[in-house]
Structure formats: C-alpha cells, structure tokens
Amino acid sequence: MRPIPTAPVAAGSLIAGYAVAAGSGSRPLGGAVLLLGGAWCARAWLARDGARAAAGLSAVGLGAFVSSHLLSLAIGPWPSVLIVAAAMGAAAWTRSDARLPARRRELA
C-alpha cells in the first residue's frame, strides 16, 4: 500500500481544528480535531521514520499550535493559523514525506 503524505494532514489539522473551534464555539471540539490529526501523523512518523523523528515533528506541531496563539495577537487568528500550518506542512514534508519515493525504491 502506498504511504499517505503527512504534510497535508498535519497542516490541515491545524486549519480544521481552528475552523471547528471558531465555527462551533467549542474549543475542546476544535482541540479534538487537532489531536486526531496529530495522532495520525505521529503514528505514521513513528512507523516510517522512528521515535526520534516522530517526537521531533510532534514537538514542531505543538510549537505551531502555541505559536499560532501568540502570533494571532499581532496579525489575527486566521492569518496566524495559516502561517503556522504552512510551516508545519513544510516541516513534515522535509523531515518525512520527501523521503517516501526513496523508501519505495528500497522496498522494491
């Protein structure tokens, strides 16, 4: 089975989590969306890249979540969420997903 890239899920979880929280008025519900996406990504990183990479990328995700709150004070919530989501997606791509084609060739 072809591995699913984690970058869109990691970035999308931040965006969807905020959208759910803002739209529903329920921060815990938005947090649950974020947690589900983050857990799926962490599991994929652990299986593909090992514990160290999974922990590092999970820490980047947590840092993105915290940074979005701080950044929103200066530029507003949606711009801050989009910026940190882009950074999270880039981190997931460079640290994990970009190596997927090479791994597929190794397994063939």
Domain-located, residue 2: no
- b vs e for 77-103, b when ≥16 Cβ sit within 10 Å of the residue's Cβ? eeebbbbbbebbbebbbebbbeebeee
Domain that holds residue 79: 7-107
Span 88-103, average pLDDT: 88
For the whole model, what pTM was predicted?
Answer: 0.90
Structure confidence at residue 104 (pLDDT): 56
Domain-located, residue 1: no
Q: How many domains are contained in the chain? A: 1
Domain-located, residue 83: yes
Domain-located, residue 100: yes
Domain-located, residue 54: yes
Q: Above 90 in pLDDT, residue 20? A: yes
Maximal C-alpha separation, the chain: 49
> pLDDT confidence of 3, banded at 50, 70, 90?
confident
SS3 string, 42-82, reads HHHHHHHHCHHHHHHHHHHHHHHHHHHHHHHHHHCHHHHHH
| One-letter amino acid of 65 | F
Domain-located, residue 21: yes
Among residues 78, 71, 74, which one has the least CA distance to residue 14? Answer: 78
pLDDT per position as a tens digit, 22-70: 999 999 999 999 999 999 999 999 999 999 999 999 999 999 999 999 9
